[in-house]
């Protein structure tokens, strides 16, 4: 614990100095960036609606009981018998 304390204090001090000495960034945001964000939000909503729709449909529909698949079993004499 005695070794970790100075290291943590140093990390916190460095982070504070980085935040205090930040400069203003003059960035450019492309007009298409808003459209990409809108498209991402719309795709999340569409995926959520699809999942909810499937769950609601599965809740209200009854699954048919499928008959078991009968596979032929080869016999040593060459004929086949249903299992």
Residue 65 phi/psi, 5° resolution?
-80, 120
- pLDDT of 27: 76
Confidence bin at 39 (pLDDT 50/70/90): very high
Distance CA 8, CA 23 (A): 25
Confidence bin at 34 (pLDDT 50/70/90): confident
With CA atoms as reference, report the closest residue to 81 among 51, 69, 72, 21: 72
Distance CA 32, CA 55 (A): 35
Calculate mean pLDDT across residues 10-28: 84
With a pLDDT cut of 70, the percent of the chain lying above it is: 88
Distance CA 38, CA 11 (A): 38
Residue spans of the domains in the chain: they are: 34-59
Distance CA 4, CA 6 (A): 6
């Amino acid at each position: 614990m005695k070794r970790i304390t100075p290291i943590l204090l140093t990390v916190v001090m460095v982070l504070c100095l980085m935040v205090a000495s930040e400069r203003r960034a003059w960035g450019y945001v492309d007009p298409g960036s808003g459209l990409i964000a809108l498209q991402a939000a719309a795709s999340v909503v569409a995926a959520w609606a699809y999942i909810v729709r499937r769950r609601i449909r599965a809740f209200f529909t009854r699954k048919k009981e499928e008959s078991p698949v009968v596979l032929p079993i080869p016999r040593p004499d060459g004929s086949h018998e249903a299992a």
